[in-house]
Amino acid sequence: MNSLRRAARMGFEGVDSLFGRAFGPDWNPMYHLGTLGWFFYWIVCVSGIYLYIFFDTGITQAYESLEYITHVQWYAGGVMRSLHRYASDALIIVMMLHLLREFVMDRYRGARWFTWFTGVPLIWLVFACGISGYWMVWDVLAQYIAIASTEWLDSLGIFGQSIARNFLNEATLSGRFFTLMVFIHIAVPLFMLLVMWIHIQRQRNARVNPPQGLAIGTLGMLLVLSVVKPAVSQPPANLDRVPAVIDFDWFYLAGYPLLDHWPGLAVWALAGAGTLLLALMPLLPPARRSRVARVDLANCNGCGRCVDDCPYSAVALQPRTDAAAFSQEAVVSDNLCTACGICVGACPTSTPFRRATRLAPGINLPDMDLHELRDQLLAATESLTGTGRVMLFGCRHGPDIEWLRGPDTATMTLPCIAMLPPSFIDFLVSRKHADGVFLTGCSAGDCHYRLGQQWEDRRLAGARDPYLRARVPRERVGVCWAGLTGRSRLERELKAFRDRLWVLPPIERRKQWSVIKRIIEGEEGHG
């Protein structure tokens, strides 16, 4: 399963990089599938409201009113109708890609189960919106949908009398069910908005708008498509005749041909089993969870930086529960924490300069204790040789960096690159443990933990607390967001970085860490 997922992930990253070349990392649509979903939703709503002004909800008048909108008012109503249809199709496409991407990238298990789980009803709701929309046109496609859908509903056997009877022939045709469809087509999107809002509740700073450029470009494309190939109705419905040819919308109606070949109940069983399987996916199998972040009250001053930086709203501030002079303290919710370590990188107490005592930050990952991490780091840099000694940090979800380890390169892999407090970079460079520090991780703009890359970039640029201090020469800090597929790019950029280090004035070598450690341990023993 893991090798299959890895292969799929490489495939996705390959497609990402193609889009990345065309759009750049900021506008890469593959990184904005969720926000594009919101964007298409709003286009559908706005165009839908416009259409509703001119739409006649009577079953016999609906078709005529849409013909008027499409052909007489083609410059406004016609364009709006096409936008309505194409944005609905685009919503299906981005939703399915979004689902597949979150699965392949393994961003749906563990603490993230809730976001996945609340995505599942959205699939049903999107389909309900689209199908009821096609129904309202009351052309031959609507006729097919009406008959197939009502027969499918009847197969459940829970309605007192057959609903399909309403669509037996022109004489039995009743506007009652049609009016219900109009109501559904308005009520479901409103309910969907509520579910979409719930869907992103566990994401801190959830993005719901695509970047402006991507939004304008996408809208422009839809507009061009609307003018070049306007959405039109098919011949009007006539229940006394079986339509010979129907143009199908495979985005919304792909499951309908199954109803022609399978009993309705079998299709219900398939749809129900599919939904259940999808909903249970986070448990099949559950993620192997690392132990969640822990707050050490003795070192927490309640500054709230961990709260600001946590991508999953897993840390909160609460009134102090000990006798310390601070008014608040951080508290971690075990259910929400993904053990990414970003909070550790944000905490002002995570500084390696406090060397005489055990390094105990206000918040720590039990499986990646910062004190041990500092020791490992010092041990790793101690054996580095040459004038281009590089400490290379990577993240678990980015490229493998172990193969780059060598006499002049030490490596360390963190859960997320933003677990690295900038003070560690300062420490390594200003204490001359390395000539340069190089960071890599997920592809630019696609952090596995949503915000880690963004926070680390801003910390290095001095734009977000905790800052990388100005005294650290920036030419000694390199970054390459390589992603899983960017192995050779990482190698190239690391080499170029080292070449640049060689021409910088040499930095004096630090006394060996093992010697310093012996001195400290000696002092502590004496004390």
126 binds, among ligand SF4, ligand HEM, none (CB under 5 to 8 A by kind): ligand HEM
Those residues whose C-beta lies under 8 Å from the C-beta of residue 68, and which sit 6 or more positions away, are 54, 77
Single-letter residue type at 254? A
Interior angle at CA 41, CA 40 and CA 42, nearest 5? 90
d(CA 523, CA 461): 38
Residue ranges that bind ligand SF4, judged by CB under 6 A: 292-293, 295, 300-306, 310, 312, 314-315, 330, 332, 337-343, 346-347, 349, 362-363
108 binds, among ligand HEM, ligand SF4, none (CB under 5 to 8 A by kind): ligand HEM
Residues 36-65 touching ligand HEM, rule: CB under 6 A, are: 37-38
By CB under 6 A, which span of 13-21, 118-126, 156-164, 296-304 interacts with ligand HEM? 118-126
By the rule CB under 6 A, 115 interacts with ligand HEM: yes
37 binds, among ligand SF4, ligand HEM, none (CB under 5 to 8 A by kind): ligand HEM
CB-CB neighbours of 429 under 10 Å = 22
User: Binder to ligand HEM among 31, 50, 116, 427 (CB under 6 A)?
Assistant: 116
By the rule CB under 6 A, 416 interacts with ligand HEM: no
User: Given the structure tokens 């927490």, which residue do they identify?
Assistant: 300
Residue 283: C-alpha distances to residues 5, 272, 347, 511 (Å): 16, 18, 32, 51
Which lies closer to ligand HEM via its Cβ, residue 37 or residue 466?
37
Those residues whose C-beta lies under 8 Å from the C-beta of residue 157, and which sit 6 or more positions away, are none
Copy the structure tokens of residue 179: 């009016």
**DSSP state letters, 251-279:** HHHTTHHHHHHS-HHHHHHHHHHHHHHHH
Site string for ligand HEM, 199-238 (x = CB under 6 A): xx--x--xxx------------------------------
User: Given the structure tokens 């961990």, which residue do they identify?
Assistant: 306
Which lies closer to ligand HEM via its Cβ, residue 337 or residue 494?
337
By CB under 6 A, which span of 16-24, 107-115, 427-435, 468-476 interacts with ligand HEM? 107-115
Q: Where are the beta strands (DSSP E) in 3-101?
A: none
State phi, psi for 411 to the nearest 5 degrees: -125, 150
Of the candidates 315, 320, 321, the residue with the CA atom closest to the CA atom of residue 344: 315
Closest residue to ligand SF4, Cβ-based? 362
343 binds, among ligand HEM, ligand SF4, none (CB under 5 to 8 A by kind): ligand SF4
- Sites of contact with ligand HEM (CB under 6 A): 34-35, 37-38, 95, 98-99, 102, 107-108, 112, 115-116, 119-120, 122-123, 126, 196, 199-200, 203, 206-208, 278, 450
